[in-house]
């Protein structure tokens, strides 16, 4: 009996372009890679274009993440730690409310997202009850939404 290899595309996508193979804190590695991709985009694109691309990426990678993470569960079991596409999407959500040129907001987006993702308050843990790829993605999406709301409140109160 041979062990079947997972399809490379789903492996690559679900592991956040391989960042999920980090031997230390794969979820943090995936979220950090997502932030670094946003930072690269910040220097390559006009800010409005970057945020439009980011919104499109959130939609695409949410749908792709649901599918690819469900495929990878068949090979690695339920909610495997190497699947980090959910952390990437989750941290991109608060980056939508980051103002241009304010790097403290970028740091805050990362820290807040990781806090909500790890602690899982206010119904975030409940999202894991969904089966398959939806459950993998939804807790991080909600953690990202909570992070975005907090950043938005801070931004409105300062500006």
pLDDT in tens, 86-124: 999 999 999 999 999 999 999 999 999 999 998 888 877
Handedness of CA 54, 60, 63, 67 (dihedral sign): negative
Burial group, residue 59, by CB count within 10 angstroms (0-12, 13-18, 19+): exposed
Instruction: Report pTM.
Output: 0.94
Residue 45 is given by DSSP the state S
Q: Tell me the average pLDDT across 10-39.
A: 97
The answer to whether the beta carbons of residues 143 and 113 sit under 8 Å apart is: yes
């Amino acid at each position: 009996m041979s062990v079947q290899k997972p399809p490379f595309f789903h492996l690559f996508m679900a592991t956040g372009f391989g960042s999920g193979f980090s031997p230390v804190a794969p979820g943090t590695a995936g979220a950090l890679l997502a932030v670094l991709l946003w930072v690269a985009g910040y220097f390559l694109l006009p800010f409005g274009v970057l945020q439009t691309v980011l919104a499109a990426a959130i939609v695409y990678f949410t749908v792709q993440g649901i599918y690819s993470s469900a495929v990878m569960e068949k090979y690695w079991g339920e909610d495997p730690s190497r699947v980090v596409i959910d952390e990437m999407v989750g941290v991109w959500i608060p980056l939508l409310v980051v103002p241009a040129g304010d790097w403290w907001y970028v740091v805050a987006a990362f820290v807040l997202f990781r806090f909500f993702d790890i602690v899982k308050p206010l119904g975030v843990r409940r999202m894991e009850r969904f089966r398959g790829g939806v459950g993998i993605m939804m807790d991080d999406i909600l953690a990202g939404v909570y992070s975005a709301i907090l950043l938005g409140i801070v931004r409105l109160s300062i500006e």
